[in-house]
A and B are shown apart, each in its own frame.
Chain A
Amino acid sequence: MARYVSFRDFDWLLLGFVLLICGIGVTEIYSATLHTKFAGAHIKQIYWILGGVVLMFAVSLINYQAMLEQVHWMYIASIASLMLVLVFGQKYLGARRWVKIGGNHFQPSEWVKLILVLAVARYFADMRQKELSWSDFIKAGMIVGVPMLMVLAQPDLGTCLTYLPIAVMGLFLGEVRLKQALTVLLLVGLMLPLGWHVLKPYQRERLTSFMNPDADKQGSGYQVIQSQIAVGSGGIWGKGTAKGTQTHLAYLPVPQTDFIFAAFSEEHGFVGALGVLLLYFIVLMRLTQNAQTAPDRAGTFVVMGVVAVLSFHILVNVGMVVGFMPVTGIPLPLMSYGGSSVVFMFLALGIVMNIRMRRFVN
């Protein structure tokens, strides 16, 4: 195999759109944290983005195929890191999610996501049959299921759920049969009542308040209602940068992280929010195109894994902001403030670039 790789083949267009979204995110973080104790968070976010871009270039240089060869080690390492969090993690708001390294807090569950994308890709790429067997189904399920259970134990239902689309995407592209899919859906449906008992009380509360936000206006329903008020009151054109009353009078909870899209929608209205959605859509379509042109089956699976994670985040976060989804604490990738999320996105993009740069290598 020829090994000629050039940055000429780098997806500059994709990077441009991604950085545009990041820029919008930074301005909104600036606006939302103005005059609060989080003021200046946008500067930190810029550092994270710059760091992310550097990491992205670095990762794009390492051959993804070499990475895939070593993915079982990475998988073992990620399981170990999740174990580490469960044992030594910093407890914050009742959940162990962060480990402290140096002065910074890291959430290992974020980059475990990336390794899962690689592991699932490797598994399906190595598959030899045309049709997915039940044993493949279960094995693929186990790869994602084990870390899911570990994250659920933190407890972090939101992040746990973000692993699910990786498996779903893998199975879908790995030619899962309709009968298999329906059987599993049925089983999950039967298991749901059991799952209800596993959920922590605050998680149940979030779900019930999502179903009926008016039942507890001061409690969990508060966030759902305030978010909808923020979005709705933005109207068509929005209230203007730093003029959102819901955001600036602190009615909207955490407007720089989970509810950044609500803050943006309040200040920039339907037109602005639709514009941002369009940018995300372009990015996703561009990624899918890259998946199609990937040099091999594994590359396609990796890129589509990233597409699955990104789409799921957008669906759950924006869905929550507009009141379609319960409050899960899932950030909006590229826009929400937070290092782990930014670094994950750029690492994932680095691998995508990596695959794209090798599209003619075969």
Chain B
Amino acid sequence: MLGRDEKVSPVRLTGVQYIILGIFLLLAYGLWRLQVMQQDFYASQAEKNRIRNVPILAPRGKILDREGRTIVDNYPSFTALLLRDQGRDLNADAVPIAQGLHTTSEEIRSRVRHFASMPQYQPIFLKEDITPDELAFIEAHRNELPELDTIMAYRRLYPRKGFMAHLIGYVGEVTEDMLNQPQFEFYNPGDVVGVSGVEKQYNQMLMGKNGSRRSVVTSRGKEVQQLDSTPAVPGEQLKLTVDVDLQIAAEQALADKNGAIVAMDPRKGEILAMVSRPTFDPNNFAVRISRDEWNKLVSDENHPLLNKAIQAQLAPGSVFKIIMATAGLEEGIAQDMKVNCAGGASFYGRYFKCWVTSEHRVHGVTNISKAIYQSCDVFFYTLAEKLGIGRIAKYATALGLGQKTGIDLPQEVAGVMPSEEWKIRNFKQKWYAGETISVGIGQGAVAVTPIQLARAIGGVASGGVLQRPHVAFPGDFPGNVLPAADMPDEVRVPIDPANWQIITDAMANVVNPIGTAPSAHLEGIDFAGKTGSAQTISNLAKARLANGKTKFKDNGWFVGVEPRRNPEIVVCALLEEGEHGYLAARVASQVIKAYVEKQNRRPSKMASRKPEKVEIRGVWNGRADADQSETLHAGRLVVDVPKKPWPLAARAPRVN
């Protein structure tokens, strides 16, 4: 029995003291571990907490036309941000946020997952270019959804309705694939880069450099102090060789027909206008494009995203006869050649028709001039037989066919200029002499792009001097921007002046009543050119596949120059399934006419003067009203355009 006053065991009390000492040593170790051993780590963690880097987005450089008029500008646009350091349940909040921003909660959650590896203090870009009511939603829910915020950024404002869309291209968020490539090593996820056209080609120059602002923020993301900031370096503006006035003329001339137009100054290689149809609205790309819209664009069988001026590879048809004529004359064969066209002729046991039989006529005795302006097939079959594929390929290759022109635009294609070597290399087959006959009229395996054709014909009309086409002035580039592909700037193909005169005079007759495109005649303008109608498919196959439907119409070509010798401008028009070259000629003549009229308005002294900078807001179509006409804005010019039909050149009787 213990007494009531029996003392508690002193051993146990001492034990308690040791236990307490143990506890305190443990806690002291805990402090030592954090504050002494891992001090640097936690100090940097605290800095990361406290300091937020806010990017200051650099506006992209403007894109101007040759006279300094703004084509592509920027506009202020708000982006919805999701702050992840607010301690909010983003999974649950995704539902009201999705409602307010007109997106799906799944989309928001997948973006949160996508950026999970990024530091928490970096906000996620939720939706770009939000509408005023979405902006109002964010402002109204500052308390309920504190993780939502907005940031103002400059966004691309492109001409509307696809004006010049293919040449300009568009921008988009840098992809993960791109980030893995060495040339994008300094780019960050979320950066906006050019993905096509000039925007891609000159991205480095246009892009500028984002700045940043460092500030002290509370755990709620409130800025309490600004530390320092690096200003953004805006992108440099890029002046194009394109003349907006001519571009407007070309856009209107092509209207909504499928095809392409290239207008170039052959003296320097400056592209004055470039159109491809169908087109797309790059403004849809300036913001993230929806998957549906994108799929629609890429699956469209008319390939709206393709810049046909540099990416369509088609048989040139009769336009190729200019190259044939050059070869024939330079080889001394065609000068005195006289061929009697009876609507066709037999070569190597096969009968080749002349197009003229479709009009129940014959060309009769034809020399080189008539063969050009009347586009006599029989003459060129005969010439092709005499030249042989080797010599044809030699001249065609010298004039730039079957190879890239080196234009400063991405994704140019090379086309095909067949030859004996080409056939062996690609098909492991011998060249059949019969194939040469088709090549003689620009059929068979010959495939060219509009830009190649413009350069080749412009080069012939310039006496054999071919320039590398370009859309930007090479002198304007900063040192770190490479202008374009590795191609020579100038190529000289020796053409005898006499031959030069024969070809260019014959080309001038093409748009005269005796030629194939009299309806394209421009009164008082020294306009010359060559029509072409190329089969898209062999006649046999056409009959089999189309069942007489109009699906496989011929492509219409025309390449025109003004003036006929040493031209200031060469225009190549392609009308896909346009059936006849003379229709393409009418289109091209519109552009030539616009060019000449503009030159006439401007005295030569003025032309040489440095153009004044005109501050304008860009070029885009006005709101399309229900009425018949729409207003086209180009700088301060406001042009009322009747919607349909666009009047072509005086409608002359169809002679072809």
Q: Chain A residues in contact with chain B, CB under 8 A?
A: 125-130, 169, 172-173, 175, 217-219, 222, 226, 228-236, 245-246, 249-251, 265, 269-270, 273-274, 277, 280-281, 284-285, 288, 291-292, 296-297, 300-301, 304, 307, 311, 314-315, 318-319, 322-324, 362
Contacts and interface: CB of A to CB of B under 8 A. Distances in A.
A273 B35 contact: yes
Given A128-B1, A236-B36, A297-B5, A169 B120 contact: no
Contacts of B15: 172
A149 to B, nearest CB: 26
Contacts of A249: 49-50, 216-219, 224
Nearest to B120: A217
Contacts of B424: none
B42 interface: yes
A319 B34 CA distance: 12
Interface in B71-90: 84-85, 87-88
A304 B16 contact: yes
Contact of A233 (B8, B17, B46, B88): B46
A288 B17 contact: yes
27 contacts: A173-B9, A173-B12, A173-B13, A173-B16, A217-B120, A218-B85, A218-B120, A228-B42, A231-B35, A232-B38, A232-B45, A233-B46, A236-B36, A249-B50, A249-B216, A249-B224, A250-B219, A251-B218, A277-B31, A281-B21, A291-B8, A296-B4, A296-B5, A297-B5, A297-B6, A300-B13, A323-B34
Given A249-B49, A249-B219, 6 more contacts: A234-B35, A235-B43, A245-B216, A296-B5, A319-B26, A322-B31
Nearest to A269: B35
Contact of A322 (B2, B6, B9, B27): B27
Contact of B46 (A130, A172, A245, A270): A245
Given A300-B7, A315-B23, A319-B27, A233 B1 contact: no
Closest 9 CB pairs of A and B: A232-B42, A322-B30, A233-B46, A270-B35, A232-B34, A250-B219, A233-B42, A249-B218, A235-B39
Nearest to B24: A281
B87 A301 contact: no
Nearest to B86: A218
A324 B24 contact: no
Contacts of A265: 31, 35
A296 B224 CA distance: 60
B17 A285 contact: yes
B102 interface: no
Contacts of B120: 217-218
Given A232-B38, A233-B45, A288 B28 contact: no
A274 B28 contact: yes
A270 B87 CA distance: 29
B288 to A, nearest CB: 26
Contacts of B16: 169, 172-173, 288, 304, 307
A126 B5 CA distance: 10
Nearest to A322: B30
Contacts of B348: none
A236 B39 CA distance: 8
B538 to A, nearest CB: 67
Given A222-B87, A245-B49, A292-B10, A233 B39 contact: yes
Nearest to B43: A233
Contacts of B20: 281, 284-285, 288, 307, 311
Contacts of A236: 35-36, 39
B186 interface: no
Nearest to B31: A273
Contacts of B220: 250
Nearest to B13: A292
A311 B23 contact: yes
B32 interface: yes
Interface string B32-59: 1111101101110110011000000000
Contacts of B45: 229, 232-233
Contact of A246 (B21, B46, B84): B46
A330 B455 CA distance: 84
Given A125-B4, A236-B36, A251-B219, A274 B31 contact: yes
Contacts of A219: 87
Contact of B30 (A173, A297, A300, A323): A323
Given A175-B9, A232-B35, A270-B35, A218 B84 contact: yes
Nearest to A315: B23
A278 B361 CA distance: 117
A296 B6 CA distance: 7
Contact of A230 (B13, B26, B46): B46
A232 B8 CA distance: 42
B8 A300 contact: yes
A246 B49 CA distance: 8
A323 B33 CA distance: 10
- Most chain A CB inside 10 Å of its own CB: which residue of B13, B24, B34: B34
Interface string B204-220: 00000000000011111
A218 B27 contact: no
Given A173-B9, A175-B9, A323-B34, A277 B24 contact: yes
A270 B32 contact: yes
Contacts of A251: 46, 49-50, 218-219
A41 B167 CA distance: 68
A284 B19 CA distance: 11
Nearest to B90: A218
Interface string B80-113: 0000110110000000000000000000000000
A45 to B, nearest CB: 23
Contact of B34 (A127, A228, A245, A297): A228
Given A233-B39, A265-B31, A127 B2 contact: yes
B27 A232 contact: no
Nearest to B216: A249
Contacts of A297: 4-8
B26 to A, nearest CB: 7
A127 B7 CA distance: 12
A284 B10 CA distance: 16
Question: Which of B8, B15, B30, B32: most chain A Cβ within 10 A?
Answer: B8
B1 to A, nearest CB: 5
Contacts of B21: 281
A250 B501 CA distance: 86
Contacts of A296: 4-5
A234 B15 CA distance: 34
A233 B51 CA distance: 14
A362 B5 contact: yes
A219 B41 CA distance: 22
A51 B38 CA distance: 41
A219 B89 CA distance: 8
A231 B41 CA distance: 11
Nearest to A280: B24
Nearest to B37: A232
Contact of B36 (A270, A280, A318): A270
Most buried by A among B19, B35, B38, B41: B35
A121 to B, nearest CB: 10
Q: Considering residues A127, A233, A284, which has the most beta carbons from chain B within 10 angstroms of its beta carbon?
A: A233
Contacts of A126: 4
The CB with the most chain B CB atoms within 10 A, among A173, A232, A311, is that of A232
Contacts of A300: 7-8, 13
B12 A235 contact: no
Nearest to B6: A297
B115 to A, nearest CB: 14
B25 to A, nearest CB: 10
A217 B219 CA distance: 13
Contacts of A127: 2
Nearest to A251: B219
A304 B220 CA distance: 44
B358 to A, nearest CB: 76
A129 B30 CA distance: 42
A1 B616 CA distance: 107
Contacts of B224: 249
